[in-house]
Structure 1
Amino acid sequence: MPVHHANIIGPVLLLDDIAGGRLHLSALFVGTKEETPPPIYLSRQEVAAKRIACQGATTVWRMRFDVPSDRTSTYRWNDQDFDIAGDTTGDLRLAYVSCNGEEIGDMEREGSERNAMWARLRDEHRHRPFALMLHGGDQVYADEVTQGHTLSEDWPDGIPDAPSAEALADLRDHLRDRFFARYRALYAAPELAWLAARVPSLMQWDDHDICDGWGSLPRSRTESAVGQTLFAVARECFLIFQHGATEGDLPARFFDSGGAHLGWGIRAASLRILAPDLRSERSRKRIMGPGSWSQMETETQAAFQGHTMLMSSVPLLGPRMSLLEGLMRIIPRMQKYEDDLRDQWQSRAHREEWRRMLATARDMLQQDGHNLTALSGEIHLATRAVMDAGRGQQLHQLVASGIAHRAPPKGWARFLGALAWLGENPLPGHPIRIQPLPGQRTRYSAERNFLVLDRSGGDWAATWHLEESGPTAPLPLDGRPDR
């Protein structure tokens, strides 16, 4: 059950950084102005709450503290002890999830159905604890927050030309109300709340954390006064609720302390996790802007021994989506899906940038003493892919999506599998193949799912947990061709 102190929801643990042999953590609480959360107690420390945001009757509080990164630790809050499996130096487990919601009616779904896979993830932690929980995008589905206000009711199809400053201020207040309510409901869910109090999270955003298709919509929408207000509120709430941060107060793991983009990275013993920002600088003609590319180039040049988990909210390796885009040009009723395909690395609009990203990943992978795996969500299916990286190495792409979003029809999964049969070779000499999950017959599995990453004796393996089929056999991630 979630820990409540009257009207307080939390704690929600967020990893600020790993440095100096310590996990630097934020514990987030959502409550009211009238009731300050009681302090967190550690063996030799008492940590008081700091108010970081308010909206209406809701107040968000934060407590920052640190624990060793080479052992299990315990903290106490509200007369209850919470264990953190914080040893990142040897064998460890990571959980990867994405797509925690749905576009329509998510707030009205029955809790035990909606959070069934969260319950399984909770049981996995009880069986063998996770050190960290990685969230790969669409942690919140904000698509309906624009409803109920005259400026945004018809978003993105219809927006006013020149709204007044007063009307935009009222819209900002309306949107903040809706975002705060959604995050509060998510963190109050008992299945997630139990995990979030014990497993530090690292989060990367995607379009639904803002609105469906953000960055792939026409510039007349995203650069309008309404669009910019929506983005500003979504970004503020993303920082507050997914990073425990505010403007000018970003954790040390963020690449740009000024927040022009929100890419981040952490390093532990023989483990690096990179999450470039694929939304802040996105447009219809690019996925990443100068800031995110600077992050990737800096990390590529930096010496690192071990395994890099590269989080790409949209799948880095995928089928020939350009064929679908071609069909849309001649079938008018399919054109409404153009923004969905333009969101992908595989879109015709992003072909050169996709090649650049694949070459960057290949160069990282080929460094001595180094391996790399790409992690993605977004498509509401489970799948995997491999790219021949040369020198007898493979780049693995693991897709786990979604933890709460219900799966699309199995016919869609079969169609994508048929499309993947054609193969793809955007980077000459480095063909991409979409592969079934271990034990599965089809390339795409249309079931809700999450991913578990295990490091044992220095070797990594991945296991998908599928709602109907159960866990797959472990997939080795040693970078060598499939055996």
Structure 2
Amino acid sequence: MANHAFLVGPVLSFRGISGDGKDWQVTALVGIDAHASIPTMQVESRACPVPRELLLHRNQRFLRYDLSCPLQAQERRVRFGVPQGGIEWSFTVPALGATPRLAYVSCNGFSDPSGMRKLVRPENSVWEDLLISHDKELRGQQTPLLDREQLWHETRIHERGLQRFHLLLMGGDQIYFDSIWEDIPRLKAWVGLSRQEQLGFRVNKELEGQIEHYYFSLYSSRWLGRKRRAWGVGKPNRDGADALARIPTIMMWDDHDIFDGWGSYSCEMQQSPLFQTLFRHARRAFWVFQMQHALSDLPALEEATPAGFSVQDPLYRPLAWNTVLRHDPRALPLLDGQPGFTSAFRMGAVALVVADLRTERSRTQILGPESWSALKRWLNSPASATTATRHLLFMSSVPVVHPKLGLAEGWLDTFGQDHVLDSNADDLKDHWAHDDHEGERKRLLDVLFGTAQTRKLRVSILSGDVHVAAWGLASHQDAAAAATTGPIQQFTSSGVVHPSLMNVLERLFLRMLESTAAKAQQDAQYRIEMMRFPGHSRYVLAARNWLALELDEGGDTPSHKLWATWRCETETGFSNHMQTVP
């Protein structure tokens, strides 16, 4: 198969460790022309099983290949590719029982193309830095601007032993669908309607077809841009597509994977026919492209309003994922009995919860009652931890620990709502720290601190969304409880492509954010505070960035210390910021 024939991919996806603990389960999404022959894929010189068709849409076919391979006593590099075109990629598998090395990113795109023109560095420079860190073969081909970073990479590998990443965690906004309001003429016209006209707007069959096609087609153009060099031609592009083809991913959506601010609009707007149509097709596209499941396996969401709950909240009947996906040997480990897509993994000394904070989101709710129950069931089950488990990582697309901007919240609550092209109000309403969600944030901390205490774990939160790098702590006010569990640390890393706070208004907002960050939030139970960013005088660092996570478990007496290292973009290169979790 010719190397230019891919419409998208390969995009690697981690499916968990097999039940017997022997296999590292990985799949690859590939898109081809519907009239082309289905390519053969090889992994470690053996033919992959026949791929599963996930979606056939117009003239495009999307396939999922199984690249799973056995775990061995030593870490190894696994090569895979399409023999007909001579194209080859590779990913790295950890040793049997070892904890994988992780990279974390978020915000892989932009909401406003004009913002990208203000960047000092190239659009893909953060991806380039991650890939150079990941693969020594790329270091010899780095750009002159990054030559000064060679010493950091070599020192990091020599001193910490950290080399290729085993997993790439993507915490939200893997793609930005905000452009739908501009690119589909009838939606562009909808923006100019009165509020009442917007709420009563009906979606006809023609418009629904355009919306469906937009969600299914944008992944190809954004994840494998037509302007990049084709696979196998010239130097590597060192962009997001290169990373997705080299490191198995774990993805969870946030608002831009639907459209900006989804879940934080008014109840009336959220339940309007147009918004529900957009959400339905965004959900279908997310299921296929980010979760790599067949569209035919996706159950519809059915509404349910139990007694005592407000009809304003999108409450859905729980889905029996174990039954729905029992025929798929490479199904993601979705928590059973939830309406959303929250999944959980256990890998060596680390357990990982990937929380879906969008499916059930409203202005007054982040997770519905069934999702809270499913989360607590898993955390209390033997599947969540063994005696070897030392750390629980909780992926929250929106920061749990973040400055509380009460004055801005009040102003935007009064003057700003339901504007799809200017959703500053919706961004603030997204925050766990917002008054509407603060009670639910306390519930989350109760669950996480309870898990830390009963399972004898350290808990850390990974977050993105806010286009800055930041470090925060949540701790018990009670000294005895604090001594038992220690604090929960949060590492915020955002964005890998999206610009940080750059223009005049954003810089004013940054000053307000910095001022507010100096003040701890506390009640009778918890103290929530931003910490000065490691190696910096500020609380929040306005720079594009990515995060590396490595567990120190080597030697005869491993410390199981978790090392978190931010790589933050500067005008001349990247700065290095490290924090540890004991």
TM-score normalised to structure 2 length:
0.75
1:137 aligns with 2:144: no
Match of 1:85 in 2: 92
1:476 aligns with 2:476: no
Q: Please name the residue that 1:446 is paired with.
A: 542
CA distance in 2, matches of 1:321, 1:67: 48
Map residues 164-179 of structure 1 onto 2, 5 A cutoff: 167-179=203-215
The residue aligned with 1:306 is 390
Q: Is the 8 A contact 1:11 1:28 kept in 2?
A: yes
Match of 2:285 among 229, 237, 241: 237
**1:122 alignment partner, SS class:** helix
* Alignment equivalent of 2:133, drawn from 111, 124, 142: 124
- One-letter code of the match for 2:517? A
- Identify the residue that residue 40 of structure 2 maps to in structure 1: 39
* Greater Cα offset, 358-367 or 184-193: 184-193
Q: Looking at secondary structure, tell me which structure has more strand per residue.
A: 1
TM-superposed CA distance for 1:155, in Å, is: 4.6
- Alpha-carbon RMSD: 2.8
Query: In the alignment, what sits opposite 1:13?
Result: 12
Q: Which residue of 2 aligns with 1:318?
A: 402
1:374 to 445, 458, 461: 461
Counterpart of 1:52, as a letter, is L
Partner Cα distance (1:101, 1:149) in 2: 22
Partner-residue secondary structure (3-state), 2:370: helix
Q: CA deviation at 1:25?
A: 1.9
What residue in structure 2 maps to residue 422 of structure 1?
519
1:285 Cα deviation after fit: 0.8
Stretches of structure 2 that go unaligned for 5 or more consecutive residues are: 137-162, 226-236, 299-324, 477-481, 554-559
- CA drift of 1:261 comes to 0.8
Equivalent position SS for 1:341: helix
Identity score, percent: 27
| Cα pair 1:139 1:209 within 8 Å, conserved | yes
Structure-2 separation of matches of 1:278 and 1:419: 25
Distance 2:189 2:175 in 1: 19
Quick one: distance in 1 between partners of 2:270 and 2:53?
31
Larger radius of gyration: 2
Task: Please state whether the residue corresponding to 1:298 is helix, strand or coil.
Answer: helix
User: Could you tell me how far 1:156 is from its partner in structure 2?
Assistant: 9.4
- 1:289 and 2:289 equivalent? no
Deviation at 1:408, TM superposition (A): 0.8
Between the aligned partners of 2:114 and 2:31, the Cα distance in structure 1 is 20
Corresponding position of 2:568: 466
Return 337-346 or 249-258, whichever deviates more.
249-258
- The alignment partner of 1:285 has SS state of coil
Q: In terms of mean alpha carbon deviation, does 43-52 or 402-411 score higher?
A: 43-52
CA distance in 1, matches of 2:547, 2:497: 13
CA distance in structure 2 between the aligned counterparts of 1:450 and 1:376, rounded to whole angstroms: 11
Q: Equivalent of 1:217, from 265, 269, 292?
A: 265
2: distance between equivalents of 1:240 and 1:327?
Answer: 39
After superposition, residues 266-277 of structure 1 pair within 5 angstroms as 266-277=345-356
Q: Is the 8 A contact 1:141 1:208 kept in 2?
A: yes
2:422 counterpart of 1:386? no
Change over 3 Å in CA distance of 1:282–1:187 after alignment to 2? same
Task: Give the corresponding residue for 1:74.
Answer: 79
Deviation at 1:302, TM superposition (A): 2.5
Once residues 457 and 279 of structure 2 are traced to their aligned partners in structure 1, the CA distance between those partners, rounded to angstroms, is: 37
1:22-62 residue CA offsets vs partner (Å, 9 max, x unmatched) = 12222111221012342221344433333321333332221
Instruction: Using the TM superposition, name which of 388-397 and 264-273 deviates more.
Output: 388-397
Aligned counterparts of 2:372 and 2:509: Cα–Cα separation in 1: 33
Q: Offset at 1:163? A: 5.6
Residue 348 of structure 1: SS of its match in structure 2?
coil
Instruction: Report the secondary structure of 1:403's partner residue.
Output: coil
Confirm or deny: 8 A CA contact 1:281 1:287 kept in the other structure: yes
Tell me whether 250-259 or 371-380 shows the greater mean CA deviation.
Answer: 250-259
Deviation at 1:274, TM superposition (A): 0.4
Q: Does 1:180 align with 2:216?
A: yes
More off after superposition, 86-95 vs 215-224:
86-95
**Equivalent residue number for residue 481 of structure 1:** none
Instruction: Say whether the 8 Å CA contact 1:55–1:176 is kept in structure 2.
Output: no
> Aligned partners of 2:87 and 2:416: how far apart in 1?
58
TM-score (norm 1): 0.90
